[in-house]
Structure 1
Amino acid sequence: MPCGAITYSERTMADKYERMLELLAQTDDWVTASELADDLGVTTRSVRSYVAAAKTAAQPLPIVIASTSGYRLNREAYGEFLDRARTRGDIAGTPQERVHHLVRRLTELDDGIDVFALADTLFVSESTLEADLRKVKTIADTAGASLERAGSRVRLIGTEGSRRRLLSSLLQAESSRGVIDLDALENEFGLTALGAFKAELMQALEADGFFVNEYGVDAVLLHIAIAVDRARRDQHLSDANVHPDPQHVAVVDVLRRLTHEHYGVELNAADLEYLARLLVTRVVAPGNRAAETPAIDPDDRDTVDRIVTQVLDEYSVDFRDDAFMTRFAIHLGNLVARARDNARSRNPLTRSIKSSYPLIFDIAVFIASIVQRERDITVDDDEISYIALHLGSHLERASRREQRVTCSIVCPSYYDLHQILRKKVEEELGDQLTIEYVVTRSDVDPRDLASELVITTVPTGAVREGVVVVQPFLTDDDIDAIRQAASRARRQRRRAGIADELLEYFDERLFFATPPGDDPESIIRGLGAALVEVGAADEAYVEGALERERMSSTAFTETLAVPHAMGLTANRTAIALALCPNPVTWGDARVSVVAFIAFSADGRARFQPLFDQFVNVFAARRDVAGLARDSGDFAGFIANLARLIDES
């Protein structure tokens, strides 16, 4: 990003190629010009010009690698390019950088800034800076602050709390994929060894008996960095209405000690109580000591009781477990506190949870809708993902036994060798395998054994999937081979049960070679009308799908949208599908396939694997683009889909 005066066209080009670099940074795979063009909404010719502009801006660093497979980011060179830009202090290169600069200046200067003078300093026109100020105003409004204008002078009006929320919102919005960069925080606020501070903070909290959720630590470190920076300027939260929570005492003591030891600042009672509340509601959970178990708000427990009942009714998934409900009631209280404080908790796993576990995410959306309605708050995708983590961890524990692979051991009898082998297999792989038979003959044919996996010490030429030949005394390589074979067996079991079943729900009357609309709502209504016409759903289900879409985008991968209502209320399960040869903007994604799924209460056991498998098939961008491009009719679509399922 060059210093000095730049033209409007140069600024526009910088915006474009930086967006392209962000897309390349999201994958380690090659990305074709066509794929980038679809995501950016431009032509492949424009993509090539963006690549050229990025290479010119980064010279001599080779930040983009080109080949016949497409483009890929050279991460090492790109990191050096960003470091070099930060070191130079290129603040006027892009609109995002100017907005960042404006927010920092406005939060630091009580008397505000002069728009005309700042435009000259940044080498931009006054109209450009006015456009940047409008963006700042939007962020400030969300944080509870406002901009006051007097002639050419603009200043920020708001409490110390609103100024900190403004800084937090800005920096979290700039973070990559929801992950806070500690090096960037150090540079931003002139701090040192923030990583060491983090390690010592976690160690101290764990020593005090807390469980630490590391996914939320970096977001709280952002608030700690802001508090230290403001305290250095003698800008503190007001002590006037501070009511210390007795359950925060240990956390407050840790924060007071570490901020003083590391950064030489004295945070006041309000600063410390605020940071402690963030840690308690985002990062730490009470440990096993009874004295540290917080009192659960009766309203939170009542809400969880209703949620569990409604989820059982709507999805036939049972969360009636005292330990889970207690943990979730604590989480619910913290979630509501964050929402009312307007303290967003970013979740770096949001995208992967949404694409990898769509049913769990969908139940989390259903729960979030109940919480929103009952508590009059807004629950965003990051918070929904934290709910999904609670649900998924409980379901994972409950399903481990069901997911075990059946196994037979073939080990000819020689003293107690077969018993030693069985014991070793159970010790190393007992959570993955259920041993059905131990065969002590050497003449058994593995093809005669019905178990999914056969572990044998006898070399065999019999052709059968799932046979693992091992040493009589298991080696590490043997254990790895068995583990891999068990993983393949689980995958094959799942595919065998889903592939044929998936195709049962497609109907030529519900297939659209092109989308029946040009935006999510019109496409949902068009596909919904087809489902209503064949009797799979009614108008109420279609309206329910639209309501679900407004809660959270159903673009579960970068290429696939799966609109549906939140309950299993369709007349029968069916899928109305539209191919989009020209990708359609759907939330933050551009999708090539839209599958409106009507889910009924019948066949609940098949619901989750069907839903998960369907989404997983469409995870590969290149395969989906080919499916949308090459499937001109229903027969072609079914043939291509069957191939993708087989190869997935």
Structure 2
Amino acid sequence: MLTAKQIELLTLLLKQETSVTASFLAHELHISVRSIKSYVASINSEGNNKIIVSSNKGYRLADKSIAESLIHGHSTIPESYIQRAYLLIRKILIDHQEVDSFDFCHEVFISYSTLKSDLAKWNIAFKRYHVRFATKQSKLVILADETSKRKLLSKIIFEEADHKLLDIATLYKLYSQETVQHLSCLLRRHFDQNKIYINDYSFMNMLLHLLIILDRVKKGSSLSYHPVKDTPQQQQNPLVISLCESIEKQFKVDFNANEKEEIDLLARSNINSHLINSDLHLSKIIDQNSMSLTQTIVNNVYNNYGIDLSKNSFIIPFSLHLNTLYNRIKRGSFNPNPLLSNIKLECPLIYEIAIFVSLFLSDVFNQKIPEDEIAFLALHIGTELERQKSNEQKLKCILLCPNYLDWREQLYNKLLFHFGSDIHIIEIASHLSEITSKKYDILITTTQMDYIHSSNIYYLCPLNFDDYTAELAKKLRELKFSLKKKQVLAELYHLFNPTLFFVDPPMENKVDIIEFLCTQLLKQGYVNESYFDQVMEREDASSTDFDDLAVPHAMKCNAIKTVIPVIISHKGIIWKSKPVHVILLPTISELDKKHFAALYEVILSLFNQRNLKETVLTIHSFDDFYQYIYSHLNT
């Protein structure tokens, strides 16, 4: 069984055309040259012949096909208790296996005592999901109702979406960097010139597909054009015509009707799904069979995995993708997917969902779906999950605008073009009555609403939009910070613990203070024994004091459970060269790491103030401290 780093090493070598040095590999994998040599020896022991060969030029794979089979034939060894939890959850909730506790120990190379320790840690870490891990007649089980199990499964699938399925660095490894840069700039220029917003996920998806088409044409593998009669035909968008012409001129290629149709559908599926969300408009560009098929797939995925793919941001692109997939099946030709290995390795759960979908489609189309096409299905699913995670950090916005002289479409596009990284437009309405039951963070309206007094309603006139951008930007910043404060307020009870609150402790320097807090955390089961060293490693790199406040913390979010120990010192504790009066040690679990940035910003804002010393003098107990935090978060 290979470790995660050994898998990464093989994957990196698969992408190299020539021998590369140990120094290069060590730099790319962020490990030492000695570790590279050790990993090479371990990997070579997996086969009868050498898998990685070395020379004075460096390392290369003896046979790439052997390396690929080795990667896909091995599962990586989970190296932390959270990774082991994810493996167990997958076995029980996805594969529906009965898991023997001793067999599990053998598989992940841990002792039975470590497993018992893991069980205790899992039950602390996953307590909020209302599940309990236990052993029952030597079997490992997850005790919970079906709703809680589904939420837990949804959680780990969304966590997997943190592995960037697609970014510019990945494309550089698959195609010429020059080609990727030129095509990316050309694509971005076309959208900017036409003032059209496209989010990062859709942009990267479109860029990948254009690279595939371009690569195919440049290699002389253009598909012959055979229009499919039962697929709706649509007049091409002027933007797409201009884009095709620019790509042809830039890269000296000629697209046939098939490629142009492919690019047209690609653009329609990635640009502003809200603008084509009416039933009338959808019926013109998407075959109703594909829409029905997508709805069935969305329902099946939700019922089996608890993942909600019912938004237009998924349904429209996926339905159009099914259109093109059906066309490729009829023509008997399929697109190669250069991301196949990456997706299978980095996102096995998302790929598993894609296999589930492909088996359903195989029955519908009476045609086995190739692996490359399964990877495209995974790309759509994973991209939607990434988009949903990104939208969680944005303000939920409703646009209230009468559909007069195309104002709605123009304003929608302008808002996203300028503020797409800050707002997620969840609804577009013409009348207030349409949104009375909707929850939102900000309502942007073109209708004066003086009779409603609310801080989250913003009026602008669509005729002179640019006059409002600076004021709206300030409004959005204030609302985003207010939202972060509400998120921290909701978790306040779990973040601070009276048993980890101390006033005027006897220690007089930061090392003793940090050691004292880490010892308390260890005694109460929040961290492991190495936590003090981790915090001091970060502190030694750069002092964490801010005037009267110090916030020491570890670089990694690997606590068993999230908590923030607090020290209040009325006389002050010397930190670097001057005294601090408030010390917070954010101790964050892997499950909560995505909230750390927002938490850190809010906490700093509460204590990083000029009169902090005077405030500290009023705090003598945990209740005083809690009341101070609560009152400031409520303002």
Query: Normalising TM by the smaller chain, what interval?
Result: 0.3 to 0.5
Q: Give the TM-score normalised by the residue count of structure 2.
A: 0.39
Q: Give the TM-score normalised by the residue count of structure 1.
A: 0.38
